[in-house]
Structure 1
Amino acid sequence: MEGSRRVFIQGLAAGVPAWMASPGCAAAAGRKRPNIVFIMSDDSGYSDPGFCGGEIETPNLDRLARGGMKWTQFYNAARCSPTRAAVMTGRWPQEVGMGDLAGFKFDAGVSCYRGIVDQSVPMIPEILGPAGYHTMMAGKWHLGGQKIKAQGAGWQAYYPGRELTPEIREFYFNGMPKQRGFDRFFGLLGGEWHYFVNPPPNKQYYEGNELAVIDEPHWYSTRGCTDKAIEYLREARRQDDRPFFLYLPYQAPHHPLEAPKAVVEKYRALYFNTDPHQLEERRVERMKRMGILPEDADYTPRLAGPRNGFPSEEKRTEWLEQVCVHAAMQEVMDGEIGRVVETLREMGELEHTLICYCSDNGAAGKMGHLGNTPFQGSKALLWEGGSRSPLIAHWPGVIPAGTTNHTAASVLDLMPTFLDAAGVSYPASFRGNRLDTPPGRSLMPAFRGGSVDAPEYLHWDLYGQKAVVYRGRWKLLINPGWWVHIKDNEEPVLELYDLDRDPAETRNLASSRPELVEQLRRAQRAWEDRYEVTPYGEAIEKGLGRKAEWK
């Protein structure tokens, strides 16, 4: 079908990880297979929640962290769609066409930037569903599926002279959640929309393949998605006793910043009466007490507001208002997570459920550095503040309560972990295509009290213009400041950090370790070549045959 990136691989890799070799559903014989609930927030800062040192009230997430395992060095792809693609497929975003955001306008015509996930690679529900799981989702999709009803101005603006054929429409339709394996779906197909919906009409929230009917006055999406998740959970249990997989990716606290007024006022009383630098310092102190940061870790205050301070009191007030709403949105979300956990308890399912939580990337740049304290950078940047999130894993009787793990892991590990927990094998083929071994590994050995090794290499790239490669304690950044670096430099800007000693990235060691820098650059170049990673502007010119409007 047009637009699909077909992947044909001639055989499985020789070394097959244990989670791929498990004998499918037979592994669950004689025991109840676990339910799996994966919750993801959008643009939460690393140290925003209470369980990571923040002042935002998140008692339900805190309780899950105390009752399970907190993973402190857990990485995402630093952007909405690439992270979601890695979660759902267990593969590098560029490998499945999601090197940038989702949507037909992000299709640059080359394999790593298609704006939609490769349909020849399975997603989690397409594996768990046939293995006997109920599969349900409530929240933000942002993986490219959509209903394109007519050849309107948007299509013509991006593809002048190109006909919107029935085949193209079908291709994008087949990328929607129901067509990608979810029995039940409610939520956003795109990346953002208003949280409050005062009908009529609803223009963005779908149920199944159609726009949802929302007739509740002052409906709020974080609560509304939770209502649907709970409805789907109860519906599944009424049907039968099969296990379920619930994917609950909240839009909160992503833009637009909207929250109930009473909760916002609560945080106005805090943030307008406290020096932001004191809040930052308190977060660092709490993180050290919690064992999230080493006691002797260097930390350079990042200035909680904008990098260069506030140009006026008006701008300072504007920033503080955003911080208040950002915090309120996360408190409301935490309350909704509590409702889901309580529902599981009432259903008698909590003891049989693996619950995981993380954010899709760091807090957005408009939050300044406060949300990602003590790390520098923000969403869409590859410093630790953009791509590092805490992970919570909770499973009573399996995951030891109150434990912390500092091993590097990433969203690539979630699919293999869920399949391992369910006793389900990764398929050798999908829709007639042979599949190779995904790059992640199951975290279940660590969840059960053992250990897992850090990945040999971990790679992320954004737009083919900024990249990062991790190996053990070492992290090499290439043009981490993106346009700040590339607009005035012909040669790439390189930053090397020893994360064991310097997790806040305060000392660039690139000039003192040239051999290590070159070794990591070679590994990154090999990865980029394998997945045809191309600078985005060049990709547009090559794939669409038109001049890119940005460097």
Structure 2
Amino acid sequence: MKVRIFMMLVIALFISMLKSCVNPQKDINPNIIVIIADDQGWADIGYNNPAVYTPNLDRLASEGITFRQHYSMPQCTPTRIALFTGRYPGRFGKEGLQASNEKVLPDGTFTLASMFSEAGYDTFLCGKWHMGSSPECGPNNYGFNESYGSLAGAIGMYDHRYREGEYGVTWHRNHKIIKGYENGVHATDLVAGEARKYIRRKHNKPFFMYLAFHAPHTPLDERGDFVDQPTQINPEDTLRWINEEKIKWFNDPDGKIQSEEDPEKRLFLAAVHHLDHAIGSIVKTLKETGLHQNTLILYTSDNGPQVNWPGNAYPDDLKLTDFNQELPMKGYKTDVWEGGINVPGFVTWPGKLYPKSIDVPTHVVDFLPTLASIIGYEKIDSNVLDGTDLSPVLFSDDSSIERDLYWIWNKETDRWALRYEDWKIVNYGTEEPNVPEDWQLFNIGKDKKEEQDRATSHPDIVKELHSMFLKQRAKDK
């Protein structure tokens, strides 16, 4: 009998240890920072492309877990909805399927911020909101204690104005427009500076910071200390920008940016360098305040890269042509091809998550259920969420997640895709795909450029994925 009791205790202890290995953090309340860059594509970060100078982001990624197949939605508002709610944007109606100034989240929507607030966290949005550009549907109505930045989307980097019209001025603190919009300081520096102030503040409980940068979205404007001189080509040297040699964002120690001959590509690389430096300054502040060891950082971009830009949509907005890095895949921002949705992503938590890369497909829609698991928040209806808890993959050697991923874009919903395992179906058209014959089929594991349509040779797989698509589509509003 004693031996039997002893063995039962040993088994119970073993099971407990296994659980702690998978989720060793439930008795800890880490600070959480979710960082989202704007229009940073797969090739716009150093660990994917040595032509890009991002030493701080590369270091963070190397210290944590890099997501090798990480996905967003094809554009900013849809991605923010997915990240913020753990649900695909189609669940909220067509307003959430493209960039939107209108209200997209119903009152009372369960969000990352409301989850952390219920879990006893301070919650702070710093940067770009873009899920409703009026104060009446701003971030403080969806779980944030505090907020700062722009309610609308892209802005002039130095005057912080959106496009002309109703939502032209939305730079705010807690939904109150800031007098003068803090002109003359680059938006990247304003957002990073406010984040550092927040970190240095005395906190009696853990904090959740949603850190949403505007960079490297257009308009691209990197003036350095020459704030009164908008970024312009030097009339005496049409391959150089005015003051370029004196602006540090154009001049990295390794000379990577200056080795790029195209001035428009150099300007974009400078914007990414600036973003990287800002994030490095925030990590430095975490270390100086002793908070680094107990802070988890999740990083993503909201979509693939912008490639061409007509200009004149925002203040000091340059026309740019083919200004981004070449992708090893098809598509760009707003595409459901891999180039539009496959973006940089990683997570780091010193002493809790150990360096590795994972090749299982991940998605911003997974952030909410994963963070819920990490902080031990259990009041979630998993039947409502579309995301998957990634913690078994993060905290163990488990590398299997069985689920499909679903994309839809545009007001007319004319771009569709679904991925299951290595297979992906894609449809571009004005009519919603209703039968298996409406799809193209690609093996992403072997054909990342999506060049070889295998629908004819694998009709059984198309039929299976089409059935999955119909189930996902039925959940949309």
Q: Pick the TM interval, shorter chain.
A: 0.7 to 0.9
SS at match of 2:32: strand
CA distance in 2, matches of 1:233, 1:413: 25
CA distance in 2, matches of 1:500, 1:373: 16
- Does the Cα contact within 8 Å between 1:139 and 1:249 map onto a contact in 2? yes
2:384 match: 437
Supply the AA of the counterpart residue of 1:362: G
Supply the AA of the counterpart residue of 2:467: R
Query: How many Å apart are 1:392 and its aligned residue?
Result: 1.1
1:375 match: 329
- Does the Cα contact within 8 Å between 1:44 and 1:371 map onto a contact in 2? no
SS at match of 1:52: coil
The Cα offsets for residues 329-381 of structure 1, whole Å up to 9 and x where unpaired, read as 11101001011111111111111111111110010132649535101100000
Among candidates 407, 420, 439, match of residue 360 of structure 2: 407
The answer as to 2:5 corresponding to 1:38 is no
2:186 match: 220
2:301 match: 359
Query: How many Å apart are 1:323 and its aligned residue?
Result: 1.9
- Does the Cα contact within 8 Å between 1:193 and 1:204 map onto a contact in 2? no
The answer as to 2:30 corresponding to 1:64 is no
2:165 match: none
1:467 match: 416
TM-score by length of 2: 0.79
CA distance in 1, matches of 2:129, 2:80: 8
Query: How many Å apart are 1:442 and its aligned residue?
Result: 1.5
- Does the Cα contact within 8 Å between 2:34 and 2:209 map onto a contact in 1? yes
- Does the Cα contact within 8 Å between 1:477 and 1:495 map onto a contact in 2? yes
SS at match of 1:341: helix
SS at match of 2:345: strand
**1:393-404 equivalence runs, <5 A:** 393-401=347-355, 403-404=356-357
SS at match of 1:345: helix
The unaligned stretches of length 5 or more in structure 2 are 1-18, 162-167, 224-243, 309-320
Structure 1 residues 177 and 372, CA gap change in structure 2 (3 angstroms): farther
Query: How many Å apart are 1:217 and its aligned residue?
Result: 6.2
CA distance in 2, matches of 1:370, 1:494: 30
Supply the AA of the counterpart residue of 2:466: R
- Does the Cα contact within 8 Å between 2:268 and 2:324 map onto a contact in 1? no
The answer as to 2:322 corresponding to 1:322 is no
1:131 match: 119
The unaligned stretches of length 5 or more in structure 1 are 1-21, 105-114, 148-172, 276-319, 429-434, 533-551
Query: How many Å apart are 1:132 and its aligned residue?
Result: 0.7
CA distance in 2, matches of 1:496, 1:365: 26
1:528 match: 473
1:88 match: 84
- Does the Cα contact within 8 Å between 1:78 and 1:362 map onto a contact in 2? yes
Query: How many Å apart are 1:436 and its aligned residue?
Result: 3.9
Supply the AA of the counterpart residue of 2:385: P
1:141 match: 129
- Does the Cα contact within 8 Å between 2:170 and 2:177 map onto a contact in 1? yes
Structure 1 residues 33 and 274, CA gap change in structure 2 (3 angstroms): closer
CA distance in 2, matches of 1:215, 1:504: 43
Q: Percent identity?
A: 27
The answer as to 2:153 corresponding to 1:191 is yes
SS at match of 1:512: coil
The Cα offsets for residues 175-212 of structure 1, whole Å up to 9 and x where unpaired, read as 2111111111111111111111299xx93311111112
Query: How many Å apart are 1:249 and its aligned residue?
Result: 0.9
The Cα offsets for residues 405-457 of structure 1, whole Å up to 9 and x where unpaired, read as 000111110011111111112445xxxxxx84312122122221332533421
**1:240-319 equivalence runs, <5 A:** 240=204, 242-260=205-223, 261=244, 262-263=247-248, 265-266=250-251
Supply the AA of the counterpart residue of 1:191: G
- Does the Cα contact within 8 Å between 2:408 and 2:417 map onto a contact in 1? yes
Supply the AA of the counterpart residue of 1:101: A
SS at match of 2:351: coil
Structure 1 residues 28 and 50, CA gap change in structure 2 (3 angstroms): closer
The Cα offsets for residues 439-487 of structure 1, whole Å up to 9 and x where unpaired, read as 21221222213325334211111132110010111011111xx67xx8x
Aligned residues: 406
CA distance in 2, matches of 1:255, 1:492: 38
Among candidates 419, 426, 434, match of residue 372 of structure 2: 419
Query: How many Å apart are 1:103 and its aligned residue?
Result: 1.8
Query: How many Å apart are 1:498 and its aligned residue?
Result: 0.9
CA distance in 2, matches of 1:233, 1:265: 29
Supply the AA of the counterpart residue of 2:117: G
Query: How many Å apart are 1:504 and its aligned residue?
Result: 2.6
CA RMSD of aligned residues (A): 2.7
CA distance in 2, matches of 1:272, 1:35: 38
Among candidates 430, 437, 446, match of residue 393 of structure 2: 446
- Does the Cα contact within 8 Å between 2:306 and 2:333 map onto a contact in 1? yes
Among candidates 454, 458, 469, match of residue 405 of structure 2: 458
1:101 match: 99
SS at match of 2:469: helix
- Does the Cα contact within 8 Å between 1:88 and 1:124 map onto a contact in 2? yes
The Cα offsets for residues 235-275 of structure 1, whole Å up to 9 and x where unpaired, read as 2xx142x11101101010111111235246448x8678657
**1:460-539 equivalence runs, <5 A:** 460-463=407-410, 464-479=413-428, 494-532=439-477
CA distance in 1, matches of 2:149, 2:82: 20
The answer as to 2:165 corresponding to 1:177 is no
- Does the Cα contact within 8 Å between 2:37 and 2:216 map onto a contact in 1? yes
Query: How many Å apart are 1:530 and its aligned residue?
Result: 2.7
SS at match of 1:333: helix
Query: How many Å apart are 1:511 and its aligned residue?
Result: 2.2
- Does the Cα contact within 8 Å between 1:478 and 1:492 map onto a contact in 2? no
